[in-house]
Amino acid sequence: MSSLIQDIRYAIRQLLKSPGFAITAILSLVCGIAATSAVFSVVWGVVMNPYPYAAPDRMVHFALGGATAGGYQNVQLTAPQWQQLRQLPAIEDSILLAFKRFTITGSDLPEDVQGTQMTSNASNFFGVPALIGRGLLPSDASDDRDPQPIVVLGYKFWQRRFNGDPAILGKTIQLDHQPYNVVGVAAKRFVWNDADVYLPLKTTAGADAYTVEARLKPGVSHHLAEQQMQPLLTQFEKDTPRNFGPKPGPLTIIGLNDQFMKAIGPSLALLFGAVLLLLAIGCGNVSILLLARGVAREHEFAVRAAIGASRARIVRQLLTEALLLSVTGAALGVLLAYRLLAGIIALLPEYSFPHEAAFAINLPVLSFSVAVALLTGIFFGLWPALRLSRPDVREAMQTGTRKVAGTVSGRALHSALIAGQIALTLLLLSAAGAAVQSFLKLAHTHLGYDPHNTMSLGIPLRDSYSTLTARSAYVELLRNKVAEIPGINMVAVSANATPPNNGLETPMELLGQPSSEDQKVRLNFVSEEYFPLLKISLLQGRLWTEAENHNANLVAVINETFAHKYFPKGDAIGHSIQVKALKDPPSFVTTQTGASGWLQIIGVTEDKLDDGMSNPVVPEVSIPYTLAMWGYTQFLVRTDGPPAAMIHTIGLQVASVDHDQQIGSTVRDLEHWISTQPEYAQGQLLSWLFAGFAVLALLLAAVGLYSVVSYTVSQRTNEFGIRMALGAPRGSVLELVVRSAITSVGTGVAVGILLTILLQKGLAHWATATNQTFAPLLYAIAILASVVLIASGIPARRATQIEPMEALRYE
């Protein structure tokens, strides 16, 4: 122990003697360790510990269909069917859920509250104790009586509405004018369904269908559970066909985190790979610095060996210095990781990771950082230590402090390290260029509509407006009242057509043409103001009028893709179509009498993005919203200025019509909504972080190259002096120094190009806009070449300023 303490003290003294070396080495490590720790904390939060629930790796939900069947359809079961499901050998436990909106009053505006109703075994199923109070109990809902009027508040709702008041327990809140006793507040990470309140669910023995969640028994695979469930679901489909749709696909069991991993997993893998490259470049930098400094200390090591120091003793001393650098770099890197993590979280796509995930520099992340520090210390310290621990005592004692050219092996080692740094830096620069190019192309995608100064407002419609006529009249009254507000240009009704994800997919048929099951369209329910508000161009025909909307006329406007696909001659106007969603509507849609008839096409509009930012536009049909009303509709509002400033005023205007009418909790500025789309947000995340990491890598590579060239110049001072004393021009000395650097750089560039080409298919997975072009690679080479010229040119120029007589004094 005493010798270890002695080594540490000596290492500290040595580093303090060379502050420039120590600071450069530590900063090189800080960059790599900070980035690695920050990205690892995100990986830990999303991949390794995303949920607070009991055995989340065995929690699943059930879906029908898949990507090849037009998307997933969640399985919904009746209470008796659920009881049968629970008896399967593969199922350990299961719950039913229902989702309901409530209105809470008590302030100047009614507030929209999202509620999740759960069966009485929910607390045991999730296994997360309440923050204060209790969760739902079996006694809160039983088969022989109505649920108890109790409620558990979500953590965010408790903070927002009640300022985190712990005295809320036992108090009563009004939901839809019904009193509910607050019995608990959910834990901070319990955010199932992002609900504001959780209530007991009383199931019925009828045909009402509920969402199902389950936990598989230990050791049960998804495939085995699917085999057990499929016969049961086949029978359920026969018993309650309305709950399963017209043509349900095969059963698919989806893990709790499967869809999130599919969405963001590849991006996290790329980012983690990028920071490991950055860390490797930083370690290479420190190895270069240690080797350069070690050669200057060869006389010291020779003296120590001459007086009896063993090779193991010298290796231990050098490793102690390396580990001291790495531990210091890790400590500072963790501090920087706190700030970097906040920036990464701000860029994460909102709907691409579990909202239960907690991102923090916690104990696992700190343990990872310590492990990285130790491994990097050994990695970059062991090689120089082994090489420098075997000095040629006689040669070192003879040369003393003379400036020598250095050994061939030493120069080769420096060249190899520089080449490796350059190759990895070029790879990072190419990846950053591909990410930025892809994101810029996505950001400039033609939307087909204008989202500027436009927002969507949710309008939950209560059961008090039960008939379709009453509901449509009420919606039109609200729309007119909102349109009266100064500063609002236009208001449109969009039941389900708010871009960039909109429409109800449904089969359709064309009058007079053979029908096919593959004929599907996206059906939008909108008012006539929808098209001018979003500035969607009318290409042919006309839009329906206010009177046609009021009377729920059977008219339709199709998009350009529909017209080109089914009417390539341009004669779509006047033809008729029929959509299945109006003949056999979903349970959440109430249709007008006669709505199932033939719709006459009266107009063709320009295409707009209707399935995200990168998927192709599909055939689309828009019809008057009065033909079919939803329980939840939306207003699109175009304003003179920032839309968010109008929300409170709109809320007051809506409440003036019905003091219980709330605005939906999700108010979306369309421009902001576009930026939260997974492909957009992930493109932004990758482009920003890859660009930042590439810049850091470029700086580290420049420092490494500068250090090597400076070291070469200092070690060859006498050689350059002799050359110039014998008549060599200064330009030839400059060429000699730069040529040696260019050789290493050229090797690194060649390896970097090869790596980039080999990995281009992987890069194209998330950077599809690059079309596998070499433009990012060429830009990266140009940037790297500029930095290389500067980093090697400065010390090379210094070599030409050596005075021959000054250099010869060392001989």
Percent of the chain with pLDDT over 90: 35
The C-alpha atoms of residue 729 and residue 727 are separated, in whole angstroms, by 6
Higher-pLDDT residue of 429 and 247 is 429
DSSP for 336-390, written as a single string: HHHHHHHHHHHHS-TTSS-TT------HHHHHHHHHHHHHHHHHHHHHHHHHHTS
Q: How confident is the model at residue 643 (pLDDT cuts 50, 70, 90)?
A: very high
732 backbone dihedrals φ, ψ, rounded to 5°: -70, -35
How far apart (Å, rounded) are the C-alpha atoms in residues 620 and 610?
9
Mean pLDDT to the nearest integer, 393-406:
49
Q: Is pLDDT larger for residue 491 or for residue 387?
A: 491
151: in domain: yes
CA 574 and chain centroid, separation: 46
Last residue of one domain, picked from the residues 256, 271, 295 = 256
Work out the number of other CB atoms within 10 angstroms of the CB of residue 727: 7
pLDDT per position as a tens digit, 235-256: 988 888 878 766 677 888 999 9
Same domain, 27 and 143: no
pLDDT at position 407 is 54
Tokens (6 digits) for 68: 């090849």
pLDDT, residue 297, reads 66
User: Would you list the DSSP string of 592-621?
Assistant: PTTTTSPEEEEEEE-----BTTTSPP--EE
- pLDDT, position 411: 65
- Residue at a domain's end among 586, 618, 640: 640
- Please state, rounded to an integer, the average pLDDT across all residues of the chain: 84
Q: Are residues 210 and 265 in the same domain?
A: no
Q: What is the number of other CB atoms lying within 10 angstroms of the CB of residue 68?
A: 7
Supply 588's token pair.
């959440």
Residue 541 has pLDDT above 90, yes or no: yes
- Residue 387's domain comprises 1-50+257-401
DSSP labels, 88-155: STTEEEEEEEEEEEEEE-SSSS-EEEEEEEE-TTHHHHH----SEE----GGGSBTTBPPPSEEEE-H
Confidence of residue 313 (pLDDT cuts 50, 70, 90): confident
**pLDDT of the residue at 403:** 45
- pLDDT at position 337 over 50: yes
- Residue 756 banded pLDDT, cuts 50, 70, 90: confident
The answer to whether residue 670 is domain-embedded is: no
Looking at the domain assignment, is residue 394 inside a domain?
yes
Q: For 376-487, where are the E strands, in sequence order?
A: 454-460
- pLDDT number for residue 560: 95
373 and 431, same domain (yes or no): no
More confident residue, 807 or 593: 593
Joined together, the tokens standing for residue 397 give: 């004692």
Host H or E run for residue 489: strand 488-493
What are the structure tokens assigned to 268, written together?
A: 């996290």
Pull the structure tokens for residue 192.
């199932």
Q: For 344-394, write each residue's pLDDT tens digit.
A: 888 888 777 889 999 999 999 999 988 988 888 887 777 677 766 665 555
Is pLDDT of 292 > 80? Answer: no
Is 655 inside any structural domain? no
Count Cα atoms within 13 angstroms, Cβ side, for 45: 24
Residues 300-308: contacts with CB within 8 Å, 24+ apart?
301/388, 301/389, 301/391, 301/396, 302/391, 302/392, 302/393, 302/396, 302/397, 303/397, 305/391, 305/393, 306/393, 306/397
The reply to whether 555 and 569 lie within a common domain is yes
**Residue 773 included in any domain:** yes
State how far the Cα of 352 lies from the Cα of 405, in Å rounded to an integer.
56
Do 250 and 287 fall into the same domain?
no
Does residue 284 or residue 637 have the better pLDDT? 637
pLDDT tens figures, 508-534? 999 988 877 778 899 999 999 999 999
Kindly state whether residues 247 and 210 are assigned to the same domain.
Answer: yes
Amino acid at 26: I
Band of the pLDDT at 747, cuts 50, 70, 90?
confident
Same domain, 96 and 224: yes
Of 129-138, 282-291, 557-566, the range with the lowest mean pLDDT is 282-291
Q: What is the pTM of this model?
A: 0.82
Would you state the pLDDT for residue 146? 79
pLDDT of residue 770 exceeding 50: no
DSSP state of 167: G
Residues 112, 236 within the same domain: yes
The predicted pLDDT at position 769 comes to 44
Provide the Cα torsion 276, 280, 281, 284; round to 10°: 170
Q: Nearest-CA neighbor of 509 among 653, 619, 650, 673? A: 619
Residue 404: its pLDDT value, please? 43
Task: Give the separation between CA 606 and CA 189, rounded to whole angstroms.
Answer: 44
Residue with more model confidence, 119 or 415:
119
770 within domain boundaries: yes
Whether 651 maps to a domain, the answer reads: no
Q: Mind listing the pLDDT tens digit for each residue in 47-83?
A: 999 999 999 999 999 988 755 444 678 888 998 999 9
Can you say how many angstroms the Cα of residue 73 is from the centroid of all Cα atoms in its chain? 24
The whole-number pLDDT of residue 764 equals: 56
Is pLDDT larger for residue 213 or for residue 120? 213
CB within 8 A of 557, min separation 6: which ones? 531, 541, 543, 544, 601, 602, 603, 604, 605, 621, 622, 623
Q: Is the pLDDT of residue 36 over 80?
A: yes
Going 494 to 497 to 503 to 509, the CA torsion angle's sign is positive
Residue 419 has pLDDT above 70, yes or no: yes
pLDDT at position 270: 87
pLDDT for residue 810 is more than 80: no
Residue 576 zone, left/alpha/beta (φ > 0; ψ -120 to 50; rest):
beta
Q: Is the pLDDT of residue 717 over 70?
A: no
Beta bridge partners of 634: 458
- The total number of structural domains that make up the chain: 4
For residue range 95-109, what is the model confidence (pLDDT) as tens digits?
999 998 898 876 668
Domain C-terminal end among 188, 222, 256: 256
Tell me: pLDDT of 631 over 70.
yes
Please tell me whether residues 99 and 238 are part of one structural domain.
Answer: yes
Q: What is the pLDDT of residues 179-222, one digit of tens each?
A: 999 999 999 999 999 999 999 998 877 768 899 999 999 999 99
Q: Under DSSP, is residue 468 helix (H, G, I), strand (E, B) or coil?
A: helix
- CA torsion sign, 463 to 464 to 465 to 467? positive
Considering the domain boundaries, does residue 648 fall inside one?
no
Q: Which two tokens stand for residue 801?
A: 């300023």
The whole-angstrom separation of Cα 286 and Cα 281 is 9
Residues 432 and 385 in one domain: no
Alpha carbons 58 and 45: distance in angstroms, whole number: 18
Domain match, 524 and 621 both: yes
* Residue 542 shares a structural domain with residue 607: yes
Please check whether residue 281 is in contact with residue 429, taking contact to mean a CB–CB distance below 8 angstroms.
no
